[in-house]
Amino acid sequence: MTTAEQNHTLTRTGPGTPMGTLFRRYWIPALMGSELPEPDGPPVRVQLLSEKLLAFRDSDGKLALIDEFCAHRRVSLWFGRVEQSGIRCPYHGWKYDASGQCTELPSEPDDSPLRLQVKLKAYPCVERGGIVWTYMGPPEQQPPLPEYEWAMVPDAHRYISKRIQESNYLQGMEGGIDSSHVSWLHSGELKTDKLHVGTDGARHIANQRPSFELQKTAAGLAISAKREVDAAQSYWRVTQWLMPWYTIIPPYGENAIRGHAWVPIDDENCTTWNWAHHPARPLTADEVDAMAKEEGAFAQLIPGSFRSVANKDNDYLIDRAAQKSGRYFSGVKGIAMQDASLQESMGPIVERELEFLVATDVAIVRARRRLLDAAAALAAGEPPPGIEPAAQHVRSASFVGPTKLSFEAFESALQVRAGAGPTSI
């Protein structure tokens, strides 16, 4: 059982907290590159790990992520103008560059030393795989740039979206590593969704009694859910969990690999990142069209925002008739919102000390323990797991094979192989 104290440690990620200190040692997805389409364009508010920040591209195209508030009177710089290699506060004209340094303080003489004493908090940024990443930890501990396969393939091989989820990050992440719920909650989509229907994987995953085998990896866990096919064979579905909040999900048939990340905005909200990528080919027009229409795992968003059209204010547009017929098992349309509706229904931070866990929850239990252990080890001076690129070069997989298999028998299927497609059915 997870205690109330452990739950508090796991779910609080602000400055100075054990989990917040751990998470700040990783490169963090901050925003999509498309949110900052041009130099000197409008700034974008970004909140990460309970810190309110502001992102912009300066005149040279350099990415900036700085404290949202002017050092003078704490005005939000979101109202400011990005110009001439910096952003100018509209209240009294103070100007800051991409490093957070105040470059102009108009009320003071040009030779005043006061300007040099004014500097906002700023974090380094890099754009990779269509995402602007930031590092919020100690500068001397900055790790190598992220090399997750989906971030490294050509642009035509990848599709990315994000949405806001109104729950703590851990509720979303735990849903991502829970392979047992697919047979129930997403059973309607297994028969209808374009990226599932007609595949052997969708047929085998309908078995509602999986058993689990887990392997600790350099970055997290390889989670094997087995479903019986016959007396000797099982359908193996191996999901990767990579610290601190990534899941890589096995594809169905020849479709793209999918994955998610749940990045804390604050302790009660997170950004859910969704992507699909194929390492061996560009995504097809049909695949991109389905994702762009926000079908399945890609939720439909309110225009001009990252909040889903189906949300808690409208009961996720639940359709009781579709629930009764089995078209949507929970009555909520789409894999993304089926997950989000139930995860948000737990409240902003679920009281895990009240849970009644069973054998199929073993991956959730192990992931919590891995996070707690990593935070404690970091406090003792050990580096976080999974920050080295080699640990990130992994995939998910699905296949039919002997029920009794060792991890070593399929370990190669879980490794990135340049130009080769995934192992899936």
Q: What is the pLDDT of residue 259?
A: 96
Domain covering 149-414: architecture: Alpha-Beta Complex (3.90)
Report the distance separating Cα 413 and Cα 212, nearest Å.
Answer: 18
Q: What is the pLDDT of residue 35?
A: 98
Q: Mean pLDDT over residues 246-260, rounded? A: 94
Q: What is the pLDDT of residues 340-359, one digit of tens each?
A: 999 999 999 999 999 999 99
Is the separation of the CB atoms in 394 and 217 below 8 Å? Answer: yes
292, pLDDT greater than 90: no
Is the separation of the CB atoms in 27 and 268 below 8 Å? Answer: no
In the chain, CATH 3.90.380 sits at 149-414
Q: What is the pLDDT of residues 51-71, one digit of tens each?
A: 999 999 999 999 999 999 999
For 176, the enclosing helix (H) or strand (E) is: helix 169-176
Q: What is the pLDDT of residue 189?
A: 84
296, pLDDT greater than 90: no
Q: What is the pLDDT of residue 77?
A: 98
Q: What is the pLDDT of residue 323?
A: 96
E strands, 97-219, are 102-104, 125-128, 131-135, 158-165, 211-216
Q: 127 has which bridge partners?
A: 132
In the chain, CATH 2.102.10.10 sits at 27-141
CA dihedral 262, 220, 225, 249 (to 10 degrees): 40
Report the distance separating Cα 185 and Cα 330, nearest Å.
Answer: 6
At 381, the pLDDT band (50, 70, 90 cuts) reads very high
Instruction: Identify the sign of the CA torsion 336, 342, 347, 349.
Output: negative
256, pLDDT greater than 90: yes
Q: What is the pLDDT of residue 293?
A: 79
What single string gives the DSSP state of each residue in 1-18? ---HHHHHHHH--STTSH
Report the distance separating Cα 107 and Cα 94, nearest Å.
Answer: 9
Report the distance separating Cα 276 and Cα 156, nearest Å.
Answer: 11
Q: What is the pLDDT of residues 205-234, one digit of tens each?
A: 888 899 999 999 999 999 999 999 999 999
Q: What is the pLDDT of residues 34-54, one digit of tens each?
A: 999 999 999 999 999 999 999
- The vertex-221 CA angle with 220 and 223, nearest 5°, equals 155
Fold of 27-141: Rieske Iron-sulfur Protein (2.102.10)
Is the separation of the CB atoms in 422 and 258 below 8 Å? Answer: no
Report the distance separating Cα 96 and Cα 226, nearest Å.
Answer: 55
Other residues' Cβ atoms within 10 Å of the Cβ of residue 114? 11
295, pLDDT greater than 70: no
Q: What is the pLDDT of residue 276?
A: 96
Q: Mean pLDDT over residues 179-201, rounded? A: 86
Q: Which of 361, 352, 377 is nearest to 11 (CA)?
A: 352
- Given strand 95-96, what is the order of strands in its sheet? 81-83, 86-88, 95-96, 102-104
Please tell me the pTM assigned to this model. Answer: 0.95
Q: What is the pLDDT of residue 188?
A: 87
Average pLDDT, the chain: 95
In the chain, the largest separation of any two C-alpha atoms, in whole Å, equals 84
Q: Mean pLDDT over residues 354-381, rounded? A: 97
Q: What is the pLDDT of residue 309?
A: 96
Report the distance separating Cα 131 and Cα 243, nearest Å.
Answer: 18
